A and B are shown apart, each in its own frame.
Chain A
Amino acid sequence: MKNEIRHYISGILIACTISACNLNEQVYDRLDATVYYQNEASIKGAVAAIYGNAAMSYLEYFWYLQEFSADQVAWRVWNGGLWGYDEGEKTVISTHTWTVDSKIIRTTWETAWGTIGLCNTLIGDLEKLNAGELGMTDAKLQSYISEVRTLRAWAYYNCYELWGGAIPLYTSADVSTIPGSADEDFQTGCRKVYDFICTELDESYPYLPQEDGSNATRNRMNQAVNRMIKMRMLLNSGVFTGTARFDECARLAQELLDGKFGTYSLAADYRDIYHVTNTTCPEVVMAFAMENGQLNAGWMRDMPFLAYTYSEYFDFSSTQSAWNCCCLAPSYDNTGTVNPTLGCSDGARCFLEPPYNDRLGAVYERFDDKDIRKGNYTWENGNYSGIFLRGLQRAKWGTGDVLKADADRDGMDLYYTDQVGQFEGATTIGRTLEPVMSPRWGQTNSGVRLVRYPIYPESEGKDFQDIDDVEFRWAEVYYTLAECKLRAGDAAGAEQLVQQVRKRYFASEADAKRYKYYTSVDMAWMLDQWGQEFLCEGRRRRTDLRRFDKFTQGQWWFFGRATDGNYPAKRDRKYEWFPLPASALSVNPGLKQNPNY
């Protein structure tokens, strides 16, 4: 009896304890995945996250791989090879010496698949959802699915440009399968991925909106973007699959120009493309929406090029800090008489002239002297002019006090020279000057800097971080069609198309037709035009160099010349494609490394 009572007591105590304990995890500051989709707003939220993820990935990591590895933009190390060296992680991209362990390649891979993974998750969910239950029409749901499929096709396209047929093709969010490369064979993989992307684009574009001039579609995937990605696929088909499709590409470009996929036109004033009002610019097909306090990639906006004193130059204040790490590929070597006051040399030789005769790199001098963009960035009458920073730098767009340099030229006048090298400085540290030096040795004043997007003076009350980041613009269709015509033997047609864009940079059409280093409208000329029009827009390696077989085979700047490293004039073709990162291979036995690595 006594024992029974004790058992009762024990039983009651156990029951109390267990009921007090709820072993299911209670979520508060996040949403349980099973209750996420509640209405159209939740779908919109999921789409918004993908755009944000994609923007951050493309604006930073893809830009590194596509521009540093090419001939126009370099990651520069200064202060005796110390500052910005970053364990060589970015320098190896510029010098074509990356390996499977390169951290930049790894992060690019990770952020890229983040975008694809988010697309896969959302598409998988959307296909299971009932539009009616979410208070939507089936057409609206279909439109979201198509938008995300196009986003995913584009995300795949960006990976494809870097890693070719080695990437996996996976459209599910199921983590119980770990998909290997598209195919055991790299080339077969290339064709499979090519077909996959094209099919995805072709199937989804009819459900996307067309731009009708109301500017409603310029921040999202629309029909024209979809077709322009297809156009890029066709233009580069030879590089991707070994089969050129220039004719088909030309037809699609013409359809685009005919307005079949939306109404666009070239901006008469190129600055309209880059202003904070650029979503009303008819040339902008798609731009990532940016706003300080919302989605903000301000740390990448011009900042890699600018020095710490930039806010004095632009006469404004900002919380973004400049990196002082990037410069344009220099136009001059380091011969001649060293001028220690400015940190440059007088009488240096231009890489476009003998004995070099380059047609790549040498960005500043490839721009014609009469090009209205070729000048230091200044602000007058409520608008800017010039997109470069070169020569002696003074505050307030060259009108104020001389700005001072730092680090290896600490306290000296800041003079950007169109050269890269270790000139005499206040404290000489690092290597001594050589005729051609690699970006590992660029004193703090080395190289011309680029201001692709305007930085508004404080008085304007506009924030440069609010400018939308242009990813697709109408001029690309003109250039694509021009190249197709040129390849088809129609040089006049090609030039005429290029001139329609180019004339906006010159006072007269005659000036626009001066091509100082190019005697005829040929492939070298075309490549030069691509480079000038889309300078630093994140596509030089792919759109230009590889299709013209210059990426590893073309010569510019330090390749074959600098003594501080083994940089052959022509690189190994294995660097045409990037390697899959070792970290990805280690957790996915099905991945087949790009056969050259």
Chain B
Amino acid sequence: MKPKFLLMSLLFTSLVMTAQTLDVEGTVSDSSGETLIGAAVVVKGTTVGTVTDFDGHYLLTGVQADAELEFSYMGYENQTIAVQGRSQINVVMADAGLQVEEVVVIGYGSLSKKEVSSSIVQIDSKNFVKGPMNSPMEMLNGKVAGLTVNSTSAADPNASTSLQIRGAGSLSGSNDPLFVIDGVAGGDIRNLSSQDIESITVLKDAASAAIYGTRGANGVVLVTTKKGTAEQGHFDVTYDSYFGTSIAKPHVAVLSADEFRRSRRGTDYGAETDWYSRITRKASYDINQYLNVSAGTKGGTYTASLNYKNANGLDIVSKRQEYGGRFAMEQKVLKDYLTISAGLSGRRVDETWGDNSQVDAALGMNPTMPVYNADGSYYQPTGVTGAVNPVTRLKETEANGQRLYLLANAGLKLKLYTDEHHNLNTSVSYSLDYNDLKSNTYASSKSNESYWGGYKGRANVNYQKWQTHHLDWLINYDFQWDEHTLRFVAGTSWEQSRWEQVGAENYDYTFDNTKWYDMASGTWLADGLANMWTGQTQSSLFGFFGRVNYNWRDMLFVSASFRREASTKFGVKSRWGNFPSASIAWEMTEAGFMEPAKDVLKSLKPRFSFGVTGREPSNPYQSLATYSSRYQYFMDGGWVTGYAPSSNANPLLSWEKSVSYNIGVDFDLWHRLSGSVDYYIRQSPDLLYSYTAPQPPYVYESVLVNVGTTTNRGVEVSLNADILKTKHFQWNSGINYAYGRTWLTKLSNEVYQASFLELYRKPGVGTSEYFFRVEEGGEIGQFYGYEFAGVDKDGDMYVLDNNGEAQPISAADPSWKRRIGNGAPRHTLSWSNRLEFYGVELSILFTGAFDYQIFNMRKYGMGLQGSGTDNVLRTAYTTDKAVRTGGGSISSYFLEDGSYFKLDNITLGYNWTWKDKLVDGLRLYVAAKNIVTMTRYSGNDPSIVAVTGITPGVDVASAYPTATQLCLGVTLKLH
């Protein structure tokens, strides 16, 4: 590059005129003192100029004494300085910061970031968390305040990741946000390659989500995929892949065979078996290969990508393979009046399923039992604990699923009118979202269930498909006049979803070899004991919506939207719902009185928003009187299939609503420290709850009615600082903090009266305890149980009675139960850092959650000497030896502080760039995930305990191995 600069300098200097002139020289540097290479220096009003050299130095000869010099450099604010006869002018360039117009994707459109008046966070691909992942949503972990990304067994490639925005609101419905992939609502993000994602936008408040009104109550996640390259005639190839491995962390210790014998816990069967090791492995792999080609033609862009993924789990069975392909195009035709767009993405997934419950079962197995009998057959335990040989369970029961994801869309956009003030266009788009899953199970003749059930083999096949047709019609109108910018969008949307299922099950086979491929050969079919089932449901949504955005002098931003929508899932008279929203923001720095502060305060934008969003029940037909088959009975010499009303129909069934208010402020200081603070209240009335029905007159005991109300409140703070910003060294640090709580404000109306909710029945035999009891007015996540009050000399647990006296737990009365903790973290924090020096990039992410309790189900189930399992944790005989038994009841003894802070991710990368004809860039990176966790919790890694939904913080003893995940990735760009 050096010759270029010299050449340019030469060129400029040669043009310099003489007479009444002087030579001006100086250095151009940035605010940190680093000199800037290649900054342009031009004499104002002329073509005379130069650029700075490697030392940031410039020299202009023959400058008139009263001339003005203009200094400019990409990313910095331009400066104009009068020469005033000086021959030495050193310039410090001010950082232009976020001057580059950032575009934020919103529902049915996009806005420039400064125009946003509601609570929206957009994360672009360069800020995604790197490393092996089960769902692209893991790339957002810690990136958005108020967004919880929970993955309970990250090392299991088939495990799902749950997401929650600003706490749980619904009691019986889903609390998952709505996914909108390139404008198609309800798509499945697992259909996408993580590399295909350009950006993910999280609409947190109701004002931004209300345009999706009926399904926006849990927040909306907009996923934007990469489009073809914009430059005409360009053809880019990107290869982006990684190889990852999960290295199991040490598992919890149970008694060894020798310790087990000496403890005299149970029968000694003479063997030495480390059951846990028999069904797990130390490390697993995760391969992700991605290739993309994209091209720009005259008025069009095209992109196509292929993706292959292959991963296995840390148990001996789980596997997952994915083959994905995607094509997207956009082409302007008819003199750019019409834009045609189309896309097709498909993904075939082969999942092999283990049984994660077996990992726990293995820990509880008697370690003196053998895996195999002397004759080589599987050893089948006959204990009362119901323990089955976990090796048999995993090896002799084959379960897998084959999925197909398809998303096809096509659209037309027509320019209707354009001039310098007006822009009117309309578009129609259709998309088909199709998923299917065929699951196959074969429990062989050697399996536990065959052994106990007295048959030889069981085959089960179930095929399900889900398809949704979407049809959207939009009209966009932009208007610009002077200081006024108005953007209108109006549209209508129709959607029809259908679920279908067919399945069969048969038993008792002569050969194991045919598995589920020859189901009819099992003998139970002829005996009339085989099973067969089908099902199909359908529902539709139809809505109208509109929104207006108004921008006055880039200072005042107002937005209002409205959606009116009907769902077939509701009663005829209560089918339509109205979902309005409004928001306003004021960029105070644009106001005259802020002028003095402008050097410091680059942006200060308070905003307020209000919106109503909705939620529908997951199952259709609950408002409709229908008959379903129910029982059989022997009548007149034959068995007759019974029919009865399917459920108590509620013809008044209607939308769940969420009314939310958000008040917040965005700010930017020196273009170095920016951030936002938000406070929100979300009230969710008319929640659907399966209520006790008065019997009579109702036939069944429950009816789905719109009764309850929950309230979420919280504060979110996001800070982003360029701590160091020099030419060769940059350190950007961000903090996302959220505080949130959810209350059950109401659970009754005139007819339906309930004072509390009981949630999450404790797993296990012979139990009817619930982990949670949430009273009206109480907080979601309240654990309900006995208060631990010590132990006696025999190790019997004592709990507090209602007079504050300690009583043996065996004599405990349920009326002594009380609120003993809360499983929802009140505070979550993440701290991300991005350092760059000489092309080397280092990202470090810490995440944490604080102030909540976890019910340690493993300690409850197998952590004490008196626990019901054969084997117990070693701690039962060491740290916890004073307590013999927990009395089989939920008590505060098993509740522990769940707070944690962890070093979640480190990514180290290096970029090479060539101005070469072929290679555009090469990036290599190594990433590590889940590195160190600091916590006082004694069970699993607390970050894997589900804290989303309305039953948070129960560590259901899933001992699936946790792992540190390492990955080596490469991105190669060719053109």
A121 CB contacts on chain B under 8 angstroms = 644-645, 699
Determine if A168 is an interface residue (Cβ-Cβ < 8 Å).
yes
Determine if A496 is an interface residue (Cβ-Cβ < 8 Å).
no
A308 CB contacts on chain B under 8 angstroms = 382, 384, 386
CA distance A88 to B471 in the complex (A): 56
B382 CB contacts on chain A under 8 angstroms = 308-309, 404
Interface size on B, residues (CB 8 A): 91
Residue in B closest to A289 when the chains form the complex, CB atoms:
B634
A295 CB contacts on chain B under 8 angstroms = 631-634
With A52-B632, A172-B697, A219-B634 as contacts: A584 and B646 at CB distance below 8 Å: no
A458 CB contacts on chain B under 8 angstroms = 454
A411 CB contacts on chain B under 8 angstroms = 266-267
Contact A48 B635 (CB under 8 A): yes
Q: How far is the CB of B607 from chain A (nearest CB, A)?
A: 34
Q: How far is the CB of A121 from chain B (nearest CB, A)?
A: 6
B965 CB contacts on chain A under 8 angstroms = none
Contact A17 B529 (CB under 8 A): no
Contact A29 B534 (CB under 8 A): yes
Contact A20 B471 (CB under 8 A): yes
Q: What mask results when residues 261 to 291 of chain B are scored 1 for a CB within 8 Å of chain A, else 0?
A: 0001111000000000000000000000000
Q: How far is the CB of A529 from chain B (nearest CB, A)?
A: 32
Determine if B31 is an interface residue (Cβ-Cβ < 8 Å).
no
Q: What mask results when residues 682 to 708 of chain B are scored 1 for a CB within 8 Å of chain A, else 0?
A: 000000000111111111110000000
CA distance A34 to B453 in the complex (A): 43
Contact A179 B631 (CB under 8 A): no
Query: Which one of B540, B635, B766 contacts A85 once the chains associate, using CB atoms below 8 Å?
Result: B766
Determine if A114 is an interface residue (Cβ-Cβ < 8 Å).
yes
Contact residues of B between 607 and 651, Cβ < 8 Å to A? 620-621, 623-637, 639-646, 648
Q: What mask results when residues 150 to 186 of chain A are scored 1 for a CB within 8 Å of chain B, else 0?
A: 0000000000000000001010111111110000000
Q: How large is the interface on A (under 10, 10 to 19, 20 to 34, 35 or more residues)?
A: 35 or more
Residue in A closest to B528 when the chains form the complex, CB atoms:
A293
A587 CB contacts on chain B under 8 angstroms = 691-694, 751-753
Q: What mask results when residues 1 to 43 of chain A are scored 1 for a CB within 8 Å of chain B, else 0?
A: 0000010000001100110111111111111111010000110
Contact residues of B between 707 and 756, Cβ < 8 Å to A? 751-755
B700 CB contacts on chain A under 8 angstroms = 110, 114, 117
B528 CB contacts on chain A under 8 angstroms = 293
Contact A14 B494 (CB under 8 A): no
Contact B868 A79 (CB under 8 A): yes
Determine if A137 is an interface residue (Cβ-Cβ < 8 Å).
no
B537 CB contacts on chain A under 8 angstroms = 28-29
In the complex, identify which listed stretch (B105-113, B369-377, B884-892) lies at the interface while the others stay far away: B884-892
Q: How far is the CB of B117 from chain A (nearest CB, A)?
A: 29
Q: How far is the CB of A559 from chain B (nearest CB, A)?
A: 18
Contact residues of A between 30 and 70, Cβ < 8 Å to B? 30-34, 36, 41-42, 44-53, 55-56
Contact B626 A53 (CB under 8 A): no
Determine if A220 is an interface residue (Cβ-Cβ < 8 Å).
yes
Determine if A421 is an interface residue (Cβ-Cβ < 8 Å).
no
A219 CB contacts on chain B under 8 angstroms = 633-635
A257 CB contacts on chain B under 8 angstroms = none
Contact residues of A between 278 and 298, Cβ < 8 Å to B? 289, 291-295
Residue in B closest to A110 when the chains form the complex, CB atoms:
B701
CA distance A103 to B770 in the complex (A): 13
Contact A42 B643 (CB under 8 A): yes
With A26-B538, A219-B635 as contacts: A173 and B471 at CB distance below 8 Å: no
B624 CB contacts on chain A under 8 angstroms = 25, 27, 32-33
Determine if A595 is an interface residue (Cβ-Cβ < 8 Å).
no
A173 CB contacts on chain B under 8 angstroms = 697, 699
Contact residues of A between 572 and 595, Cβ < 8 Å to B? 583-584, 586-588
CA distance A582 to B753 in the complex (A): 11
Contact B769 A87 (CB under 8 A): yes
The 10 closest A-B pairs by CB, nearest first: A52-B631, A317-B454, A406-B384, A49-B642, A117-B699, A289-B634, A113-B695, A48-B633, A48-B642, A33-B625
12 contacts between A and B (CB under 8 A): A25-B620, A30-B628, A32-B627, A44-B635, A52-B633, A56-B631, A117-B695, A117-B699, A177-B697, A216-B636, A406-B384, A429-B885
What is the interface of chain A, defined by CB distance below 8 A to chain B?
6, 13-14, 17-18, 20-34, 36, 41-42, 44-53, 55-56, 79-89, 103, 109-111, 113-114, 116-118, 120-121, 168, 170, 172-179, 216, 219-220, 289, 291-295, 307-309, 311, 316-319, 324-325, 404, 406-407, 410-411, 427, 429-431, 444, 458, 564-565, 583-584, 586-588
Other A-B pairs, 12, CB within 8 Å; known A21-B542, A25-B568: A36-B627, A47-B635, A48-B635, A48-B641, A49-B642, A52-B642, A82-B868, A86-B768, A219-B634, A295-B631, A430-B810, A587-B694
